[in-house]
Structure formats: C-alpha cells, structure tokens
Amino acid sequence: MDVISVIRTKRDRGRLTDEQIDWVIDAYTRGEVADEQMSALAMAILLNGMDRAEIARWTAAMIASGERMEFSSLPRPTADKHSTGGVGDKITLPLAPLVAACGAAVPQLSGRGLGHTGGTLDKLESIPGWRALLSNDEMMGVLRDVGAVICAAGDGLAPADKKLYALRDVTGTVEAIPLIASSIMSKKIAEGTGSLVLDVKVGSGAFMKTVADARELATTMVGLGTDHGVRTVALLTDMSTPLGLTAGNALEVRESVEVLAGGGPADVVELTLALAREMLDAAGLPDADPAKALRDGTAMDHWRRMISAQGGDPDAPLPVARERHVVTAPATGVLTGLDAYAVGVAAWRLGAGRSRKEDPVQAGAGVELHAKPGDQVTAGRPLLTLHTDTPERFDYALQALDGAVTVAPAGTPFTPRPIVLERIG
C-alpha cells in the first residue's frame, strides 16, 4: 500500500477500498504519510466525494486510531451537542451549563476555529486561567461535580482527526461533507456520549450554503451516530447573518454571560433553548424546563462552577482589544442584509482566527454589531465596531465587509428567516 495510489484513486473519481482507508488513516496518524500528501487526498475528497460506505469506513478508522471513553459510572444521562460552525456561534457556552442545570451530564469536547468560523476553545481561553486541556480523570471529576465540562479532545481520542482537523483549516478543505461528517462523528462516537444533538448551520456564514447540502450532511451524521448506538438528531439552523451581536473570542464570552444572566440577544436565547430541549429529550429528560433554569439563576451557577473547575476565574475582567474602528451605516432605512460570511472573515482578519494551524489568536479581536436585519438604521450612525490589537489589520478587515451591508428604504417590509429551519432525526 502506498499513499500515491490512494491519492490517485480518489483524484480519478474512484472508490477507496476498506483496506486503503484503514491504511491511510493509520499511516497518517503514525507520520508515515506527510501533511502535503494528506492535503492532496483531502482536496480530492472535497472535489470528488465519498459514498456512504466510504464515509462509514473512514469514520470507523478515525475512531480506531485511538481510545474510546464511556460514562456509565455517572449518575446522570449524558447528552452532547455539536455545531458545524458559524459566525457569532457562542451557543455551546451557555448551553452546556444550562443542560447540566436541568439534570443531564454534558461532556462537551470542542475545537478551535476553522477558517472564518470561531472556535469554542479559543473563546473560552480568553477567560483568565481557564484550561482546555484536561486528563480523562479531570474531565470525569468536573462532570461528577458540576454536570458539564467543555474541553479539548485528549490526544488519545481520535488522534487521526486531531491532525486532519488542523490540516483542513489551512488547506481549503473544511467544506468537504465526508470530512466534516467523519471528523465530528468519530470524536462524538469515541467520546461515548449516550445522545447527540447536531446543529447544522445553513447560509452564507456556514460551510453548507444551501439547505440541500446541510440536509445531506445532517442525514449522513445522524446515520453514522445511529449505526453506532448513539441517539442522534439534527437541527438545520440559519447562518445567513451572525448569531447575536458579537463575533470574536472575549466578545462572545461576554455575550454568553449576558444570556446566562437572563438577558442577551433574542436569537441566541432562542437557539440555546431549542437545542437544550432537544438534548434533554434525547437524554430522557423531556419534562425539564431550561427556560426556568435561565430565569432562576441555576444555569449561571453551573457556568461559574464549570469555569472555576477548569482553572478559570468567572469574575475576572475579560481582555479588551487595544484598538477600535467604527463602521457607520451607509444610508437611512431598514437593514435587510448583514452577510455572516463577510463578518466572519473580518473577525478572522482582525485576529480572532488563524491562517496557519500554529498561529495564536487575539482574545479581544472581533466584530461588534449595533444592528441586526430588520432594525432601522441611520446614515452615519455606528453599525459595526471592529476590535483588534493590531490596527494595521483594519484595512484588510474592511475589504471583507465591502458589500456585506444592505439597507432598504424606510418602511420596506422585512421578514426574518427562522432560526430553526428543519429537524432531522
């Protein structure tokens, strides 16, 4: 077996055999296949796809590359959630402690940013002292004490995916449905959670631009989970405009705390509650009331305990970028469009994301929104504020926002797109 023949098979629109898949995943994990060779194979998969059996085998090989966890010793049912990535998608931050406050255990293994989309771990690392890397024993301890943990997958859990995940981020292959599905599901199945809710984003700021593509990805992942004994459902949710009023790291943490305090943007609250209800139902707790847990402060209590248990200080001031630039509304009227992808790229260019897998991110960088589609705006008044520590990035970020804003004449009817578009389960 050699990697060149595997690349050529997929380059020429062939079907990879089980033996080819098993070998290339194992060889890449061991370092026998170089990054540039796996990059070529990933691009071939992006361009030519995989059938259901290939995806299933690729996923199984990723799982087999490492250990598997299990949570049968916990006194609570387990439920997990995964988002395919969006702009301003801070939902995991309030969701995990909220579901824990309602009686489930949430072992949330999260990742770094991919391209223009923000990473949950990058956001949380803006909290002074907070640690993403926990041993399995530490993870179990936080789950027993708090009921929720958000951390990085350990080196032993699907190590093939850890290498490939970082490679996809910097080689333009993030959007490949087989690689997205196998990446997500290999970690979630190896993680050992009893149930899983998938938040599959649709729109300009998502990797899946159309409902049809999102449905294909969701159906593939639900099938993979079900085949491995994990109760799995998926929601297709809108990502044509950013979620909430911030896209960045510390900016989104601040907004998440507002949600846990009973406030926050309406769209973030709506999606958080919708996913919480799905997770609780999948975990066998359909009568739990997540809205009550937000109102009475129990979700906030679980957040503070979770952050503290991972070394963070929930009372510490969050980082603030040294420089700001205000973008004003180009006209007076109704804001009818604010492109999520453009905002995500702008935040990325301001320092909230990375261009190479070894790049650091700026905790305070990002974009703050002062209006959402449907709002009235006034020419010359603030529409967006850009945040960064490196002001030379402003021009590059502003280029990304060119054409991102649409303002219609005052009185123009506007019907917002629903947050939840479809359920697959």
CATH number assigned to the domain comprising residue 331: 3.90.1170.30
Structural domain for 33, as ranges: 3-49
Total structural domains in the chain? Answer: 3
CA distance 197 to 175: 20
Residue 8 lies in a domain: yes
CB atoms inside a 10 Å sphere around CB 141:
14
Residues 184, 266 share a domain: yes
Residues 269, 182 share a domain: yes
pLDDT digits (tens, 9 = 90+) for 360-416: 899 999 999 999 999 999 999 999 999 999 999 999 999 999 999 999 999 999 999
Residue 161 lies in a domain: no
Q: From the candidates 183, 195, 240, 256, give the one annotated as an active-site residue.
A: 183
Task: Read off the amino acid at residue 262.
Answer: G
Kindly report the CATH number assigned to the domain that includes residue 12.
Answer: 1.20.970.10
Closest-CA residue to 110 (of 88, 131, 129, 141): 131
Going from the C-alpha of 422 to that of each of 217, 223, 235, 236, 382, the distances in angstroms are 13, 16, 6, 5, 34
Residues 259, 370 share a domain: no
Residues 267, 122 share a domain: yes
Residue 424 lies in a domain: no
**Catalytic status, residue 82:** yes
Task: Read off the amino acid at residue 1.
Answer: M
**Catalytic status, residue 57:** no
Residues 178, 144 share a domain: yes
The residue among 262, 277, 309 that closes a domain is: 309
Residues 331, 289 share a domain: no
Q: What is the pLDDT of residue 337?
A: 96
Residues 292, 328 share a domain: no
Residues 334, 281 share a domain: no
Q: From the candidates 81, 90, 163, 168, give the one annotated as an active-site residue.
A: 168
Residue 283 lies in a domain: yes
CB 378 within 8 Å of CB 153 = no
The residue among 282, 309, 336 that closes a domain is: 309
Kindly report the CATH number assigned to the domain that includes residue 107.
Answer: 3.40.1030.10
pLDDT digits (tens, 9 = 90+) for 120-171: 999 999 999 999 999 989 999 999 999 999 998 877 888 998 899 888 878 9
Q: What is the pLDDT of residue 127?
A: 98
CA distance 303 to 254: 13
**pTM of the prediction?**
0.89
DSSP helix/strand/coil, 396: helix
- Across all residues in the chain, what is the average pLDDT? 95
Residue 247 lies in a domain: yes
Q: What is the pLDDT of residue 355?
A: 75
In 353-393, alpha helices (H): none
CA distance 258 to 262: 7
State residue 408 phi and psi, 5-degree precision. -100, 160
Residues 353, 300 share a domain: no
Residues 266, 125 share a domain: yes
Dmax over Cα atoms in the chain, in whole Å? 66
**Catalytic status, residue 161:** yes
DSSP letter at 158? S
The label of the residue with tokens 């650091």 reads: 360
Higher pLDDT, 91 or 117: 91
In 107-176, alpha helices (H): 120-124, 136-145, 159-169
Residue 65 lies in a domain: no
Residue 234 lies in a domain: yes
Number of Cα atoms under 13 Å in the Cβ half of residue 105: 21
Residues 329, 276 share a domain: no
Binned at pLDDT 50, 70 and 90, residue 113 comes out as confident
Mean pLDDT, residues 73-88: 94
Q: From the candidates 161, 169, 267, 281, give the one annotated as an active-site residue.
A: 161
Residue 58 lies in a domain: no
**Catalytic status, residue 13:** no
Q: What is the pLDDT of residue 232?
A: 96
Q: From the candidates 10, 81, 162, 187, give the one annotated as an active-site residue.
A: 187
Residues 280, 150 share a domain: yes
